[in-house]
């Protein structure tokens, strides 16, 4: 896990570049915050910093390859370039020409893989990705994501026997933003209220 | 092109062959025909040092014209444009291949403003049709495509087609040059060279006869 100083620095950076924003809520059912992680794509500097933090967590593992899905944020590519570590890509669908592979890149059976992604949006999608790796004969050492938005997403992955960790959680973000007076007590309360309702539906 | 550039390019071609990104054998293409060579730049991600080399070679061309953003096209060119963005600290925008059904459903992700100039980067160009599919959504959101830079020209007239439509388009290298370099350094033998060249002539003439049927008739 990350130490509190790095977490705070990351959250400050994200907030200063507008990755986390608080639009005026229309009703009590709409999200009280907006997380635009895809903004990272256009910010090479934060991307560098994020990769540095991710690496500090990942390097404790023993692994041969970094794996990343084709998503908005080139986190895995950044890690691979920065630390000169071989990487593979997980495709969405199999193509019927060329080599017809689900996983792009050079790998051999029984290699150990660390999967890097921005967040777990849909556990079934993520499990599918992990399944693709295991189906190709690779061993998934763990899944590391940038943000845990709650709703029990990480726990679902963990319950299937995968190691799954997030750099920061939504709780970390709100605490830090409140501490640095980026959000008002009202906004905090609104978010807490929203999540109280959400938790009930998530557990049903 | 100066000597340093061409040396770097030659090294790149040899290195790509070394790790079998440029591979020789029998491969089925998208169109169904068999090809004596296959270039799979998606493998680049497993070789970070090569990814850096490729992005350096591309950068030598990109930097010659002013621009604001780099556009990454899925799939093979994405890691390449990411590498350029990180190495030279330029913002990147990301093209989606499929529209997602949640969120805002945007086709282009990242931070951009109307009127900014974009460099489109891709790995290969064949007949150029797919480049227009990429350019269209970029222009639809109010961005200006200042140039299109691709690593490899497959020799099917794609670069010319894009240029004809008013875009500045450059290919770093083409298949003839790749074969020439590999043959010069003894990586492929004479038979392989001939087989590949025959294939290139065959496929490029096929495209020509398709696009210019009337002229062919007249010459007869």
pLDDT digits (tens, 9 = 90+) for B143-157: 999 999 999 998 888
Cα torsion angle, B33, B39, B41, B42, sign: positive
pLDDT in tens, A134-167: 989 999 999 999 998 877 888 888 998 999 999 9
A-chain residues near B83 (CB < 8 A): 77, 81
- Quickly state the pLDDT bin for B3 (edges 50, 70, 90): low
- Quickly state the pLDDT bin for B100 (edges 50, 70, 90): low
3-state secondary structure A114-180: EEEEEECCCHHHHHHHHHHHHHCCCEEEEEEEEEECCCCHHHHHHHCCCCEEEEEEHHHHHHHHHHC
Cβ–Cβ under 8 Å, residues A119 and A75: no
B-chain residues near A42 (CB < 8 A): 69, 91-93, 110-112
Half-sphere exposure of B138 toward its Cβ, with a 13 Å CA cutoff? 27
CA distance A134 to B43: 19
CA distance A36 to A147: 11
CA distance A183 to A174: 8
What pLDDT is stored for residue B164 in this prediction? Answer: 93
Cβ–Cβ under 8 Å, residues B196 and B176: no
pTM of structure:
0.82
- Quickly state the pLDDT bin for A185 (edges 50, 70, 90): confident
pLDDT at A94 over 70: no
Interface confidence, given as ipTM, is 0.76
Beta bridge partners of A90: A69, A103
Beta bridge partners of A164: A143
Are B46 and A45 an interchain contact pair (Cβ–Cβ within 8 Å)? no
Domains and CATH numbers, chain A: 4-22+29-203 (3.40.50.2020)
What is the CATH code of the structural domain delimited by B3-219? 3.40.50.2020
- Better-scored residue on pLDDT, A115 or B103: A115
- Omega within 30 of 0 (cis) for the link into B75: yes
Element housing B42 (H / E): none
Average pLDDT score over residue span A12-19: 88
pLDDT in tens, B119-145: 999 999 988 888 898 899 999 999 999
What pLDDT is stored for residue B94 in this prediction? Answer: 85
B-side interface with A, Cβ within 8 Å? 19, 27-32, 38, 40, 42-43, 45-49, 51-52, 69, 72, 74-75, 78-79, 82-83, 85-87, 89-94, 97-98, 102, 109-112
What mean pLDDT is reported for chain B?
85
Residue extents of the structural domains in chain B: 3-219
Average pLDDT score over residue span A189-199: 74
């Amino acid at each position: 896990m990350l130490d509190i100083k790095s977490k705070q620095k990351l959250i400050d950076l994200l907030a200063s570049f507008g990755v986390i924003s608080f639009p005026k809520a229309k009703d009590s059912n709409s999200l009280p915050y907006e997380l635009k992680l895809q903004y990272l794509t256009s910010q090479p500097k934060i991307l560098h910093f994020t990769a540095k933090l991710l690496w500090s967590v990942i390097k404790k593992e023993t692994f041969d390859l970094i794996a990343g899905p084709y998503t908005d944020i080139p986190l895995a590519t950044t890690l691979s370039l920065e630390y000169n570590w071989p990487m593979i890509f997980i495709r969405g669908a199999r193509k019927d020409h060329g080599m017809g592979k689900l996983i792009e890149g050079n790998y051999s059976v029984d290699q150990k893989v660390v999967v890097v992604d921005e967040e777990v949006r849909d556990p079934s999608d993520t499990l599918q990705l992990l399944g693709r790796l295991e189906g190709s004969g690779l061993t998934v050492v763990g899944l590391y994501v940038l943000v845990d938005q709650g709703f029990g997403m990480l726990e679902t992955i963990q319950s299937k026997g995968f190691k799954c960790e997030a750099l920061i959680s939504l709780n970390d973000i709100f605490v830090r933003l409140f501490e640095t007076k980026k959000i008002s007590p009202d906004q905090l309360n609104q978010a807490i209220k929203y999540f109280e309702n959400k938790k009930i539906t998530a557990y049903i | 092109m100066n000597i340093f550039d061409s040396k770097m390019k030659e090294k790149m071609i040899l290195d790509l062959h070394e790790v079998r990104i440029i591979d020789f054998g029998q491969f089925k293409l998208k169109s169904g025909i068999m090809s004596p060579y296959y270039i799979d730049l998606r493998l680049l991600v497993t070789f970070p040092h090569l990814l850096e080399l490729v992005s350096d070679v591309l950068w030598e061309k990109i930097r010659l014209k002013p621009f604001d953003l780099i556009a990454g096209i899925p799939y093979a060119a994405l890691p390449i444009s990411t590498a350029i963005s990180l190495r030279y600290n330029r913002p990147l925008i990301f093209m989606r291949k499929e529209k997602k059904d949640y969120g805002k459903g945007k086709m282009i992700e990242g931070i951009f403003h109307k009127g900014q100039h974009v460099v489109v980067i891709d790995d290969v160009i064949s007949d150029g049709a797919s480049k227009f599919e990429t350019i269209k959504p970029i222009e639809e959101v109010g961005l200006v495509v200042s140039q299109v830079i691709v690593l490899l020209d497959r020799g099917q007239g794609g670069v010319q087609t894009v240029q004809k439509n008013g875009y500045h388009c450059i290919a770093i290298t083409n298949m003839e040059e790749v074969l020439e370099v590999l043959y010069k350094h003894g990586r492929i033998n004479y038979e392989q060279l001939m087989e590949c060249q025959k294939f290139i002539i065959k496929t490029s003439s096929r495209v020509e006869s398709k696009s210019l049927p009337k002229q062919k008739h007249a010459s007869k």
